[in-house]
């Protein structure tokens, strides 16, 4: 155990986490140069494209250190986005140390800070690394000062590296060996193993990635998972290299995998504790949380005939991502679909994109919303994750919505712009601290609903891409929220209903009405487009009736062409969604998603 080092890498997107990982794996001959050519730890295409890691993995290296000893290094990868902060915290809990990687040209970013705080809270030894020092725009001294201010380290503790040219890799490995403490477990104690990640294999079922904290786990052991209470037989145990390597057992301090014929991914919950059925531990490891979706949206097949296909796709998707929740729902406008719960906006985007790309689904989504707590006058509390389920105005005593604490790191010249944006988004300013004279770290509290929409894009555009942002959930607070309905000829378009702050309802309603007027084709009759709160119409516009649509000439040679056109138009009509007697093109639903708040 003395020769084991468990560590992870904390970095902002694009600061070089994956290249550093490749460098370490290559240096320790865990992988060849050729294998390292692509950022190895990011195994999903989408992740690679976006340069972000979504599912964390682990890999073991053997390193012959300068002190003459061989060390087992377990690199535990962490997801790099705010939506996955719980998973990050569990990965951190499996480590004793963390590399803090900061881009020499970009400096410290919001995500660096929030993950760093988590690592410090978890008691990890932090090894600061400045990466990309060979960039012409590198500002090494400035970044050094930022890091020193941030973690209070000494200047000579900061490693200068260029992962791309493999500069500094050996120094990093030596620092891990020297500075990250060996794990402190007891092999004789009852088994406690932390599940920090899991994947689904179609042949083996759910495979748990575990860090053994105390005790020893052997194949054929009878084990149980605390959270689910379910019991299994440990079928196969081993360590993680590029592939799984079967070792038959894992001892306290080490990291590896466990296959136990677990059918579903949701039974290997991240953060859960594995122990023995007989003589097991009495209490689980701390920190386990049931992950709950934060953002909800309706997903509907573009063509309503594809409902079953979408269900299959969601089920298959969920095999590999148990944080997605979905339940059937019906919309008068969109037909049969699913209300899906996501960890956050990025998670939502990833799910939608992967459903389309990998599962060939064509979907229409509704406006994302958070989960509201509605307290009714009769004392009942209703949890609303779909605006359609909102009780009527008269029944409501108060509504509470989730709030987050947000951290925004920005060059100081954009502070004014950001304050403005924060006000627009109902933000409550907390404080500003300066990372260095030109970079500010601002704290706000926001309603979650305000930042799940277009907040990130706006943040980037008003700061020319320089500001970065991270958030964590802090609790529910009362707000003046109303349900805003959109009506076409008096019929509610349920898929366009939203829960919105009273003060924003009017502008939003107006924008949606204008957008719909633009996108709904003229019908044979006039269409009234209205936005209403309860029975009160707050915005209204009309789509004039279509006056003429007829081909002027249709003689012998035109008939085939005309029939084909008619068939094509009928196909197009099929893709429209119908509310009352009004047909709404899919684009209208998509366009509403693009409306700026």
Partner 1 sequence: MNKLAIYVHIPFCDHKCIYCDFYSITNYKNEGTYLDCLKKEILHYANLYSDDYKVNSIYFGGGTPSFVSPEYISAILKQIEQSFQISNDVEITLETNPGTVDDKKLGSFLDAGINRMSVGIQSFDKDELNFLTRIHDAETAKECVLKAFDAGFENISVDLIFNLPGQSIEKWLTNLNEAVKLPVRHVSAYSLILEKGAILNKMVLDGKVTLQDEDYDAELYETTIDFLESKGFLQYEVSNFAQPGYESVHNKAYWQYGDYLGFGTSSHSFIKNKRWWNYSSLEFYNRAVNERGHAIAGSEVLTPNMMLEEFVMLALRSDGIDIAALKNRFGKKWLDDNQPILENLKSNGFLNIENGFIRLTKKGYLLCDEILLNFIF
- Which residues here bind partner 1, judged by CB under 8 A? 524-525, 544, 546-557, 559-560, 562-563, 566-567, 569-570, 573
Residue 521 CB, shortest distance to partner 1, in Å, is: 10
Compare residues 3 and 541 and give the one whose CB is closer to partner 1: 541
Hey, what are 271's tokens?
A: 């953060």
Compare residues 152 and 556 and give the one whose CB is closer to partner 1: 556
Compare residues 154 and 547 and give the one whose CB is closer to partner 1: 547
Residues 370, 351: Cα–Cα separation, whole Å: 17
> Do residues 58 and 255 make contact, with C-beta atoms less than 8 angstroms apart?
yes
Residues 133, 13: Cα–Cα separation, whole Å: 17
> Up-side HSE of residue 520: CA atoms within 13 Å toward CB?
32
Compare residues 220 and 562 and give the one whose CB is closer to partner 1: 562
Handedness of CA 313, 316, 317, 318 (dihedral sign): positive
| CB burial of residue 389 (10 Å; 0-12, 13-18, 19+) | middle
Residues 144, 381: Cα–Cα separation, whole Å: 51
Residues 389, 126: Cα–Cα separation, whole Å: 47
Compare residues 286 and 557 and give the one whose CB is closer to partner 1: 557
Residues 589, 586: Cα–Cα separation, whole Å: 5
Residue 305 CB, shortest distance to partner 1, in Å, is: 16
Residue 528 CB, shortest distance to partner 1, in Å, is: 17
Residues 512, 539: Cα–Cα separation, whole Å: 9
Compare residues 182 and 519 and give the one whose CB is closer to partner 1: 519
Residue 550 CB, shortest distance to partner 1, in Å, is: 4
Residues 572, 490: Cα–Cα separation, whole Å: 25
The SS3 call for residue 437 is coil
| CB burial of residue 66 (10 Å; 0-12, 13-18, 19+) | exposed
| CB burial of residue 465 (10 Å; 0-12, 13-18, 19+) | exposed
DSSP E strands in 1-79: the ranges are: 4-11, 58-64, 70-76
Hey, what are 541's tokens?
A: 């516009």
Return the closest-CA partner of residue 466 out of 16, 106, 115. Answer: 106
Residues 59, 256: Cα–Cα separation, whole Å: 8
Q: According to DSSP H, which parts of 98-163 are helical?
A: 110-121, 140-151
Chain length of the chain: 597
Compare residues 278 and 573 and give the one whose CB is closer to partner 1: 573
Compare residues 289 and 563 and give the one whose CB is closer to partner 1: 563
Residue 466 CB, shortest distance to partner 1, in Å, is: 41
Compare residues 203 and 555 and give the one whose CB is closer to partner 1: 555
Residue 488 CB, shortest distance to partner 1, in Å, is: 17
Compare residues 383 and 552 and give the one whose CB is closer to partner 1: 552
Compare residues 154 and 553 and give the one whose CB is closer to partner 1: 553
Residue 486 CB, shortest distance to partner 1, in Å, is: 24
> Up-side HSE of residue 498: CA atoms within 13 Å toward CB?
25
Return the closest-CA partner of residue 492 out of 523, 525, 532, 541. Answer: 532
> Do residues 78 and 88 make contact, with C-beta atoms less than 8 angstroms apart?
yes
Residue 491 CB, shortest distance to partner 1, in Å, is: 16
Q: Which residues, including other chains, have CB under 8 Å from residue 563's CB and lie 6 or more apart?
A: none
Pairing of strands 249-251, 216-218: antiparallel
Longest dimension (CA), the chain: 93
DSSP 8-class letter at 369: B
Residue 317 CB, shortest distance to partner 1, in Å, is: 36
Residue 543 CB, shortest distance to partner 1, in Å, is: 13
Compare residues 186 and 569 and give the one whose CB is closer to partner 1: 569
Compare residues 423 and 554 and give the one whose CB is closer to partner 1: 554
Question: For the chain, what is the total number of helices (H) and then of strands (E)?
Answer: 14, 33
């Amino acid at each position: 155990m003395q020769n084991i080092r468990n560590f992870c890498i904390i970095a902002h997107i694009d600061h070089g986490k994956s290249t550093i990982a490749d460098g370490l794996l290559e240096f320790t001959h865990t992988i060849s140069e050729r294998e390292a050519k692509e950022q190895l730890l990011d195994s999903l295409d989408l992740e690679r494209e976006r340069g972000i890691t979504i599912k964390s993995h682990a890999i073991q290296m053997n390193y012959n250190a300068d002190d003459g000893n061989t060390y087992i290094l377990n690199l535990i990868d962490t997801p790099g986005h705010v939506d996955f902060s719980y998973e990050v915290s569990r990965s951190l809990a499996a480590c004793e140390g963390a590399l803090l990687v900061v881009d020499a040209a970009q400096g410290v970013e919001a995500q660096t800070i929030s993950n760093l705080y988590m690592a410090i809270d978890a008691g990890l030894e932090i090894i600061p690394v400045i990466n990309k020092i060979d960039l012409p725009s590198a500002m090494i001294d400035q970044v050094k000062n930022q890091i020193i201010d941030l973690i209070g380290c000494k200047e000579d503790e900061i490693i200068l590296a260029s992962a791309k040219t493999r500069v500094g890799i050996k120094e990093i490995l030596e620092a891990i060996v020297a500075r990250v403490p060996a794990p402190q477990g007891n092999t004789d104690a009852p088994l406690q193993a932390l599940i920090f990640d899991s994947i689904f294999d179609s042949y083996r079922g759910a495979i748990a990635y575990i860090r053994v904290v105390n005790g020893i786990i052997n194949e054929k052991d009878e084990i149980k998972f605390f959270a689910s209470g379910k019991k299994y037989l440990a079928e196969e145990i081993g360590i993680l290299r590029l592939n799984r390597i079967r070792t038959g057992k894992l001892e306290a301090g080490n990291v590896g995998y466990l296959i136990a014929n677990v059918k579903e991914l949701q039974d290997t919950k991240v953060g859960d504790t594995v122990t023995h059925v007989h003589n097991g531990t009495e209490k689980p490891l701390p920190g386990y949380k049931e992950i709950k979706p934060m953002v909800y949206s309706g997903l509907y097949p573009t063509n309503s005939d594809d409902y079953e296909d979408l269900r299959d796709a969601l089920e298959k998707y969920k095999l590999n991502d148990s944080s997605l929740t979905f339940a059937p729902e019906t919309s008068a406008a969109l037909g049969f679909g699913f209300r899906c719960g996501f960890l956050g906006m990025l998670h939502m985007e990833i799910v939608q994109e992967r459903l389309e790309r990998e599962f060939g689904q064509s979907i229409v989504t509704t406006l994302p919303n958070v989960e509201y707590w509605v307290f009714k006058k009769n004392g009942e509390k209703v949890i609303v994750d779909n605006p359609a389920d909102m009780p009527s105005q008269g029944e409501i005593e108060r509504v509470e919505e989730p709030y987050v604490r947000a951290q925004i790191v920005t060059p100081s010249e954009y502070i004014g712009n950001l304050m403005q944006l924060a006000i627009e988004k109902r933000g409550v300013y907390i404080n500003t601290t300066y990372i260095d004279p030109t970079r500010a770290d601002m704290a706000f509290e926001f309603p979650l609903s305000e930042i799940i929409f277009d907040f990130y894009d706006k943040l980037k555009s008003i700061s020319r891409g320089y500001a970065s942002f991270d958030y964590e959930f802090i609790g529910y607070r009362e707000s003046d929220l109303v349900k805003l309905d959109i009506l076409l000829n008096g019929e509610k378009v349920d898929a366009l209903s939203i829960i919105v702050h009273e003060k924003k309802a009017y502008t939003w309603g107006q924008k949606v009405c204008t957008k719909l007027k633009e996108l709904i084709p003229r019908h044979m009759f006039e269409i009234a487009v209205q936005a209403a709160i309860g029975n009160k119409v707050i915005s209204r516009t009309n789509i004039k009736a279509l006056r003429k649509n007829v081909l002027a000439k249709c003689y012998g040679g035109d008939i085939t062409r005309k029939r084909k056109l008619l068939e094509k138009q009928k196909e197009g009509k099929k893709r429209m969604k119908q509310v009352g007697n009004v047909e709404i093109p899919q684009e209208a639903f998509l366009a509403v998603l693009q409306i700026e708040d």
